[in-house]
A and B are shown apart, each in its own frame.
Chain A
């Protein structure tokens, strides 16, 4: 019981020490920081030592060496390579031949490059393109979250986004589409009428247009990332629409995480008030 109590007091002391940083830097924080750095570095090395070096390297390699002496080849003998590369890394401590440490480094970088190339090709590029191949217009029952009321309001939103985007592409600051203004206006008016008709139509017979927004977002987003063309003209307009989508993404993800970040702090305050001070039951 007594040691538990000491543990709680130490934990509370360190908790408040870190929190005091919010007011300003101070010796209490410095102390907590110093102990955190020291402890965690020790913690990581000890865990790595047992869980990587001992469990993954030594436990596989040493039996393999023993069996080699008995004249048998064991696949695990390949771990020798890892050991040698590790030791090469340490040669950095001997400056004249320190450059040898570049060899394990190139193994690491080469391996990382190879693995990431494949992984991102498969899971990011190919799969994301695949899931974007969707109908841009569907009948609403095929989408789960949306129900009749949502479809209509959703479509009004879709048309609003379309009109604003088009207006921006035609008249925006960065755009220099070489058309006389009346022609631009004419296009815009036609689009406006089309969207109004679409909205009206969607009231009577709901079509789900969310696919169109996703398509536009991905398309314009990719245009934003294009390096080989200046962001002017049609390209500039589309890229700007792309940044809007990125901004919605950032805003939404930000807003979405606020709640769970608050809960992290609730956990600490709960510790202080309930476990330590016991002022709340």
Chain B
């Protein structure tokens, strides 16, 4: 019985093998049949509609913007359209060349690097996806590409599809084989004198700037302006006093960026104020820097401070010395200075990166009073954790105005507050409309919200 079953099983297995072998042969046969059919039929796809070409607005010239509505075939899910090919010419009837491609489902293209003032004409070709195999070898394609450099805009697959139709490749574009749009043009590119997209920004910026200027003017005119005290700034004088009592030096670090960072500039202006106090107290200041221009500027600043404190003789260029531009090399040296000279007070005012904590922790270990200030949001937590006082962001920029005590400088801080007030007002109004829109689902309110948002979307 068992033997009988085994025999049937074996027979069945053999049958299966035969069947599968037969099937495979049939497949191979059909493959050869496909090879014999030489010409690939390029599907003719619907052309794009509403094709328009116009000068790109708000640009520096040399650009033309093309827009169109998608080809009907591109809206289908079958993915027949692979891309849109852009053709350009300087006359409306002939001489069109490929200048670029846009992806399928894209309905715009910006043509760049054009001559200003020249008339251009454009056509858009709805380009099909090649379903066949790439038959051209690289050796065949390369000379083609050399003959028609514009073909490099297309993929290998595309070129071989075109070659399937005709070895004279560019004729495809004349023979109406593909879905080609009407000619758009003539159109010229021009440069604009005002970027209208920035109008919102301009208005907001002007409002803030004007309020700053007005308050500077008011303060200059003798109007008394109230400003609250900032803890970190009052600590500065005490810190200098402490260094004087202890007979130790003061270390000033203006960050590790160059003068092309406004935080460094802010640090230097604060230096100007505190150097005067230092000169009056007759304390030593040590300022290692990591940028040459900062060195030059800091020297000028300190010299001026000593001069106005009536102690020009006490000034020396050696107070400021260059170390290295390299971030961590500079930190290595500053750490060395700290543990060897043991300054009583350390100032870190400027732009800082990862080195902030290395310096602040070393400074802490030598028991120095540390006052930091930076507008690098990522480094603020470390200064807050390791220093005695930290000027947070905006306070860094306000510090020199505060310390100067000059009315016009203080006036600018008032102007700043107006900016904050405007920001808060718009945040409230915007939030109210946005919330109403979200809760009621009203299209009108949503439109108002989006309008307010668009003012702030530069």
Contacts and interface: CB of A to CB of B under 8 A. Distances in A.
A and B touching (Cβ–Cβ under 8 A): yes
Interface size class for chain B? 35 or more
B335 A254 contact: no
Nearest to B432: A136
B259 A112 contact: yes
Interface stretch (A165-173, A179-187, A214-222): A214-222
B413 A227 contact: yes
A127 to B, nearest CB: 7
B262 interface: yes
A222 B208 CA distance: 16
Interface in A213-261: 215, 218-219, 222-223, 225-231, 246, 249-251, 253-254, 257
B204 interface: yes
A113 interface: yes
B324 A44 contact: yes
Contact of B398 (A21, A127, A227): A227
B332 A89 contact: no
A99 to B, nearest CB: 9
Give the interface SS of chain A, mostly helix, strand, loop or mixed: helix
A219 B228 contact: no
Given A89-B296, A134-B434, A227 B262 contact: no
Interface string B270-311: 000000000000000000000001001100100000000000
Contacts of A125: 204, 208, 419, 423
B339 A226 contact: no
A30 interface: yes
A129 B324 contact: no
Contacts of A25: 336, 339-340
B326 A40 contact: yes
Contacts of A102: 300
B339 to A, nearest CB: 4
A163 B426 CA distance: 25
Interface string B207-242: 010000000000000000111101000000000000
Interface in A105-147: 105, 108-109, 111-113, 116-118, 121-122, 125-127, 129-130, 132-139, 142
Contacts of B200: 126
Contact of A44 (B325, B381, B455, B457): B325
Nearest to B452: A133
A40 B324 CA distance: 6
**Most chain-B CB neighbours within 10 Å: which of A112, A211, A218, A230?**
A112
B326 to A, nearest CB: 3
A130 B324 contact: no
B435 interface: yes
Given A40-B324, A132-B427, A254-B385, A227 B416 contact: yes
Given A102-B300, A108-B260, A253-B378, A135 B426 contact: no
Interface of A: 18, 21, 24-25, 29-30, 32-33, 36-37, 39-41, 43-44, 48, 89, 92, 101-102, 105, 108-109, 111-113, 116-118, 121-122, 125-127, 129-130, 132-139, 142, 211, 215, 218-219, 222-223, 225-231, 246, 249-251, 253-254, 257
Interface of B: 200-201, 204-205, 208, 225-228, 230, 259-262, 265, 293, 296-297, 300, 323-326, 328-330, 332-333, 335-336, 339-340, 377-378, 380-382, 384-385, 392-395, 398, 413-414, 416-417, 419-420, 423-424, 426-428, 430-431, 434-435, 437-439, 449, 452-453, 455-458
30 contacts: A24-B339, A25-B336, A33-B335, A36-B324, A36-B326, A37-B324, A40-B324, A41-B329, A112-B260, A117-B205, A121-B208, A125-B419, A126-B456, A129-B426, A133-B427, A133-B453, A134-B431, A136-B431, A215-B427, A226-B417, A227-B398, A227-B416, A229-B226, A230-B228, A250-B380, A250-B381, A250-B385, A251-B381, A253-B381, A257-B381
Across chains A and B, which 3 residue pairs bring their CB atoms closest together, nearest first? A130-B456, A133-B430, A40-B326
